[in-house]
Amino acid sequence: ADIPEKKPRLYVAALGERAGVKALEIVERLRREGVYAECDIVGRSLKAQMKYADKCGARYSMVIGSDEADKKVAVLKNMREKAEAEVSLENLDNLIAIVKE
Averaged over successive runs of 10 residues, the pLDDT of the chain (101 residues) comes to 77 93 95 94 92 95 92 94 92 93 83
For residue 3, what pLDDT is reported? Answer: 61
For residue 92, what pLDDT is reported? Answer: 93
For residue 87, what pLDDT is reported? Answer: 95
User: How many CA atoms lie within 13 Å of 94's alpha carbon, on the beta-carbon side?
Assistant: 11
Contact 57, 69 (CB under 8 A): no
Q: Which residues pair with 74 in a beta bridge?
A: 87
For residue 9, what pLDDT is reported? Answer: 96
For residue 42, what pLDDT is reported? Answer: 87
